[in-house]
Each structure stands twice: as structure tokens, then as C-alpha cells.
A and B are shown apart, each in its own frame.
Chain A
Amino acid sequence: MLRLSALAMGGGLLAEKKALAVETPGKLGIPLGPYGDRSPYEKAVRFTRQSKTPETGSSFTPLADSVGTLTPSSLHYERHHSGIPDIDPAQHRLVIHGMVDRPLSLSVADIRRLPSISRVMVLECGGNSGSEWAATTGPDVQRSFGLVSCSEWTGVSLALLLKEVGVRPGAGWVIAEGADACRMMRSVPLAKAMDDALVAYGQNGEALRPAQGYPLRLLLPGWEGNTNVKWLHSLKLTDQAYMARDETAKYSDLMPDGKARIFTYRMEAKSVITFPSGGQTLAGPGLYELTGLAWSGSGRIERVEITTDGGKTWVNAQLQGPRLPIAWTRFRLPWRFEGREAVIASRATDETGYVQPTREALIAVRGTNSGYHFNGMKFWKVRADGTVTNVEV
């Protein structure tokens, strides 16, 4: 009787269990694997414009999808001038020559044998946010600010390599050249090479990606991306800058008086709100966390302020530590969206006291034809219906 009553009482539960088991029969997942992929449900990708010459151009990091302070190597922005070369690291050599006592040809294995340095560092294209000089500013954060990424890089101090070759008196420049089809070349002052430059072979815990210079690239902390020569195969010590096409015709800043600034290497302090940002939609009124990224080629980020009233008032955002120099610093601020239009922006201050300017302040000094090195504030308009757009100026 007891058994019967138990059965009668538990019958319903048993039937429910049985039904559950049929619906989710403990299906095995996919097996272990040698090299991981992200979830197929994740769709963030770099943005690239259509081009008849896709070997030269840029791809933009999806900043709005970025969390934390590092860019996955697979989403690091790209700027190539003649495609990504296929380089066998066993065949690749770095030649250091010119005004040196002992010219050296180094294999990748030679360089990996030397004392290594790792540092988290932001890399930003000198042309990032070039769209912002125009009255029609970029519609979303990826296309207007996405030529910037942050990685942990590993390599060898260039100063150490230069000590090994013995720089001759009178040398003042290092001409860095890549092994891509166009042999991309830039002139680097010897002082920077001796200060904090790296010859890097690692990115985010593994070898550089081919798109990031595999097997070797130059890294010049805080300086425009183009000088961080990828596929590095030559460092030539000279007594003069070589006035390469990419430092004269390109990456120089044309001023209203017709003069162009040359060797504008350092990327100044900059920040942008990534949520909410152009193209996104808030679900409705309520409490949100405003967030974004700040960085400076001159050092640490000291402060990020946020306005939600179009620049009339500013409050300090919370900065996530550790605040590493020349690296992304994530900022956050709780914000209540009341269902009324709000114009929001961030402004960064770095450890030198330099404050990120408005677009108008930049244009007042530089005009609208300088093309490169835009670090102005980015305003987003959150409409009453929760949709977010850029602000037409």
C-alpha cells in the first residue's frame, strides 16, 4: 500500500522527469581541440571598405564590442600598404647595418634568445579618426575611432640590439624597413630607438599574427602606428632622416598656412565612449553603465570626465586599474537614461596634464586639412527613443 501511494504521489514528478530527459538527452559537446575558436554566436568583426586594391587599406577594430582593455589578436586593426607577406621565420633575418661597428644579421631564433620584455601597449594609426575632421563625423565608434587596438607585446629592447652592433658617433637616425612587397620604410630618431623601442615577436601570449608583422615588428611606444614597422628586416643607422614617402607625402599634417608638420610621431591623449555609441539602441529608460576607452601616447591616463548634457557639465568617470602607461584604460559611469535626448562625450587627461581637446579647438589651430592625428572628443546623441547617433556639426 505504501508503495502504491508513493507511486501515486510521485507519478506526476516522474512523468515530468521523463519528459525532460527526452528533450535534453545529455548531448556531448565537441571534443578537445588544438587551437581554439570563439563561439559561433559571437559576430564582431573588423570593418573594411570595399576597394579595388584590397592589399592596401585599413580594417577597423569593433570597439563597441570590446570588453576589458585588450584587443584579441584576430580583431587588431590593420593597415597594410602592399598586402600581408608570407614569411617563413626560419628564413627571415633582421639586418642591422649602416653607421655601426659590427653589422649583424640576426635570425628570429637569435632574437628570441635575448632577454625579453613584455608590455601592454596601445597601437594607434596616425590616420585614426581622420573622418572626424569633416563636418559629417563618423556614424559609429568602429568606423570613426577603430584604428586603435591594445595588446601585450613581447620582444627585445632595441637599445640592447644597438649596443650589440655598436652605434658609431654621428649616427642620429634608424631607417626601419619591412619585408612586405613595398618594403615599407620609416625614419626613427636614434633617441627613440635607444629609449623604449622594442623588436617584438610576441603578441597576447603567442607569436605575432601575420597581419601584425610576423615574425618581427618594430614597436615604438606612443608613436603613430605607421612607424611601428611590420615584417621588420632592416635597421640602418644613418646621420639623416631619409624623407620616406610615408613621412613626407603621408602622415604629415597640412596646416592652414600651407606648411606641413613633419615627424608628428606621438599620439596624444584620446578617449571615446563605446557604450552607448552610434548605431546602438537603449532598451528604454533606466539605469545604465556608460563605458569607454582612454589612452595616451604620452603615458598614463589620470582622469576621464563625462558629460551627458552636451558639454555643459562634466563628472569624473571611474577608471579601472591598473592604469598602464600608453595602454587602454577603461572608464565607467552609472547613468540614468530618462527617455529624454542626451548628448554625451568623454574627455581624457593624461599624466602630463594634457587634456583631450574638442574637435573645434583642434580645427581652430590646425584647420580641416591636416588629415592625421585627430584626438578630439567624440559626441554621441542618445535620442528620446533610445537610438544613438553621431552628432552632425
Chain B
Amino acid sequence: MMAAPLAAQSPTFAVGRPPTPEEIRNLGGAIAPDGGGLPEGSGTVAAGRDVFAAQCARCHGPRAQGDVGPVLVGGQGTLTTARPLKTVGSFWPYATTLWDYINRAMPFDKPGLLKPSEVYAVAAYILNLNGIIGENDVMDASSLPKVKMPNRDGFVADPRPDVGEKANKPK
């Protein structure tokens, strides 16, 4: 009679229990770069324009040019200049990160407010503003991970120590 609950606990210290489905649902719903974890639903650029105007523009500006919140568009070609502009379009390597971050952290004062289809739509709108997807493209669990971000190959592993006598020599 005690065997079932005990087996579900940790083997050495017998603490805890299996998480409930509700406990898992209440977590942030982390999205992998291969799209793992993306929910059902879809969003168009047009729908995203409306959601953005209603929920995002007051901080990021009507065209995502930045205000209280950071600029979300432009900057492509600036990363090697003296004044690099790091945006979703110029810097972010994965479109899944955009979905994940909007879903978990935005709007700033009401994170978690947007429904999955609204998150797809806002992501589509921001990607379109950056010239990464077309006006008629639709974002969903299948299409979003396939979006090739301009700076997808712009990241390298940590080579430190990189300064002084202990520095790793460049290959």
C-alpha cells in the first residue's frame, strides 16, 4: 500500500513527488531552438500589427523603433561598426528565442498576457518589420523554427583566457 507513493519519491532520501500537469503548465513553457515546446496556434503579420499596436507600441514605439523599451528593428550591417545596433533583426540568432521571450516576459508589466496565437502574430510582425519574412507569411510551430535569422551564424564559443600570457593562441 505504501509502495506506490514511495516509488514516486526520490530513491535515496525519499523526498518529493511527481510534478502535477498543472505544475508543469505553470512553468514558463521553455522553447528549444529546434521548436520543441512550441504550442498549437498561428499568427499573421497583419494580426501581429494589431496586437503590437495594442500591447507593445507604448514602450517600443509604434514601429518598434524603441522608446522606454528597446529598439526591435534595424541595425543589420552595423555589428562591425563603432556603433553596433543589436536588434532582433541584426543580432538575435533564433526566431524561437523571440517567441519564447515574448511569451514569457512581455508585455513588461503583464508578462504571460498574450495567447499563443498572439505571440506567433507579434513575432511574425517583428520579423516582417526586419525584412526577414514576407507580409503574407504565417508563423506557427512548423514555420517559426525554419526562419533563418540574419545573424544565425554570428556566435562563437568562449575562447578565454584571451588576454595576457595565459591567453589561448588563435587557431
State the CA gap A97–B21 with chains docked (Å): 12
Q: How many A-B residue pairs have CB under 8 A?
A: 175
Interface centre among B19, B92, B111, B163 (most CB of A within 10 A): B163
Are A177 and B92 in contact, with the CB atoms below 8 A? no
List residues of chain A with CB within 8 A of the CB of B31: 242
State the CA gap A145–B19 with chains docked (Å): 41
Q: Please give the distance in Å from A15's CB to the nearest CB on chain B.
A: 70
List residues of chain A with CB within 8 A of the CB of B160: 264, 266, 268
State the CA gap A243–B100 with chains docked (Å): 10
List residues of chain B with CB within 8 A of the CB of A75: none
Confirm or deny: B34 has a beta carbon within 8 angstroms of a beta carbon on chain A: yes
If A95-B24, A113-B15, A266-B160 touch, whether A240 touches B34 (CB-CB below 8 Å) is: yes
Confirm or deny: B156 has a beta carbon within 8 angstroms of a beta carbon on chain A: yes
B20-77 CB contacts (< 8 Å) to partner A: 20, 23-24, 27-28, 30-34, 68
State the CA gap A165–B23 with chains docked (Å): 17
List residues of chain B with CB within 8 A of the CB of A184: 105
Which segment, of A36-44, A102-110, A282-290, A331-339, faces chain B? A102-110
List residues of chain A with CB within 8 A of the CB of B96: 243
Interface centre among A165, A242, A364 (most CB of B within 10 A): A242
If A164-B12, A164-B13, A177-B28 touch, whether A262 touches B94 (CB-CB below 8 Å) is: no
B137-156 CB contacts (< 8 Å) to partner A: 154-156
Are B16 and A105 in contact, with the CB atoms below 8 A? yes
Q: Please give the distance in Å from B117's CB to the nearest CB on chain A.
A: 20
Partner of B158, one of A111, A166, A265: A265
Q: Please give the distance in Å from A337's CB to the nearest CB on chain B.
A: 31
Are B24 and A263 in contact, with the CB atoms below 8 A? no
If A105-B23, A233-B27, A361-B163 touch, whether A240 touches B154 (CB-CB below 8 Å) is: no
Confirm or deny: A168 has a beta carbon within 8 angstroms of a beta carbon on chain B: no
Tell me how many residues of A have a C-beta within 8 Å of chain B: 68
The interface bits of chain A over 70-95 (1 if a CB of B lies within 8 angstroms of the residue's CB, else 0) are 00000000000110000000000101
Are B108 and A261 in contact, with the CB atoms below 8 A? no
Q: Please give the distance in Å from B35's CB to the nearest CB on chain A.
A: 11
If A163-B12, A185-B28, A260-B155 touch, whether A82 touches B108 (CB-CB below 8 Å) is: yes
A17-63 CB contacts (< 8 Å) to partner B: 52-53, 55-56
Are A245 and B97 in contact, with the CB atoms below 8 A? yes
Tell me how many residues of B have a C-beta within 8 Å of chain A: 55
State the CA gap A364–B162 with chains docked (Å): 10
Which segment, of A1-9, A250-258, A273-281, A303-311, faces chain B? A250-258
Are B108 and A56 in contact, with the CB atoms below 8 A? yes
List residues of chain A with CB within 8 A of the CB of B15: 104, 106, 110-111, 113-114, 164
Confirm or deny: B157 has a beta carbon within 8 angstroms of a beta carbon on chain A: yes
A351-389 CB contacts (< 8 Å) to partner B: 352-355, 357, 361-362, 364-366, 369
Confirm or deny: A320 has a beta carbon within 8 angstroms of a beta carbon on chain B: no
Confirm or deny: A203 has a beta carbon within 8 angstroms of a beta carbon on chain B: no
State the CA gap A354–B159 with chains docked (Å): 14
Partner of A52, one of B16, B18, B68: B68
List residues of chain B with CB within 8 A of the CB of A175: 30
Are B92 and A97 in contact, with the CB atoms below 8 A? no
Partner of B16, one of A110, A257, A352, A369: A110
21 A-B residue pairs with CB within 8 Å: A104-B17, A104-B18, A113-B13, A181-B112, A182-B104, A182-B111, A185-B100, A185-B104, A233-B27, A242-B31, A242-B32, A243-B96, A248-B91, A254-B86, A256-B80, A257-B80, A260-B91, A261-B155, A264-B158, A266-B158, A268-B161
List 7 additional A-B contacts (Cβ < 8 Å) besides A264-B158, A266-B160.
Answer: A95-B24, A107-B16, A175-B30, A238-B32, A241-B33, A242-B33, A365-B163
Interface, chain A (partner B; CB < 8 A):
52-53, 55-56, 81-82, 93, 95, 97, 102-107, 110-111, 113-114, 163-166, 175, 177, 181-185, 233-234, 236, 238, 240-245, 248-249, 252, 254-266, 268, 352-355, 357, 361-362, 364-366, 369
Interface, chain B (partner A; CB < 8 A):
8-13, 15-20, 23-24, 27-28, 30-34, 68, 79-80, 82, 84, 86, 88, 91-94, 96-97, 100-101, 104-105, 108, 111-112, 154-167
- 6 nearest interchain CB pairs? A183-B28, A164-B10, A182-B105, A258-B79, A110-B15, A105-B19
